[in-house]
Amino acid sequence: MKIHKEGRRILFVTLLILLVLNLLVFNFNKGADLFNRLFAGATVIVFLLILQFFRSPFRHLFTHEDLLLAPADGKVVVIENVFEPEYFEDERKQISIFMSPINVHVTRNPISGLVKYFKYHPGNYLVAWHPKSSTQNERTTVVVESDAGPLVLFRQIAGAMARRIVWYVNEGDEVSQGEEFGFIKFGSRVDVFVPIDTEIKVELGQKVKGGETVICQLKVK
């Protein structure tokens, strides 16, 4: 287990602020021992909650050209056929994974291949399970031409708590399955769009692990 690089500065600043607050409280409330101890305990809990959010556990990664791995930790909240308007402009099968504040928020490449399209969209911060969050919230869209052949679109989506999306890929990059492609700070969800004839390997409500759980199998022609 390690702390993700995106959290190190936040954790350092948070620790300094909490230490200063504790020093001020103890200095001005010298006679209120119970309150001081409760306050100190509350600040420790706050720090630990933020610390666990930025954890980056080791994952046993494997690669297979026609199997898609979960791009994030969380729960499968959508499996349906939808019209994808941004890149494909046709019907695709969508799989969405909701990431709660207690999940690991590293996002990983679900498949190996070449990045054919990348775009960052500023936007709103609707709750992540809202149907319109996929098209109206702050988000990134990545399309990879998989080594198996089919194109796969995946999208980081910010939510009500998430206020910053970080990405490490750009158009033209070669990406490897299971490796990090970004991080969503304090939120939200990842959508995956695959061809209609893709075989789904997960169920609604199922909990998945990024880089480990197989979510679907592409049809290779």
Quote the CA–CA distance of 101 and 163 in Å, as a whole number.
Answer: 13
Quote the CA–CA distance of 156 and 187 in Å, as a whole number.
Answer: 10
Q: 133, 134, 146, 188: which one is catalytic?
A: 188
Quote the CA–CA distance of 47 and 27 in Å, as a whole number.
Answer: 21
Q: Which of 103, 114, 73, 22 is nearest to 212 (CA)?
A: 73
Residue 56 designated active-site: no
Q: Which of 145, 124, 141, 142 is nearest to 133 (CA)?
A: 124
Quote the CA–CA distance of 221 and 215 in Å, as a whole number.
Answer: 20
Q: How wide is the angle at C-alpha 125 spanned by C-alphas 177 and 3, nearest 5°?
A: 45
Q: Give the active site residues.
A: 188
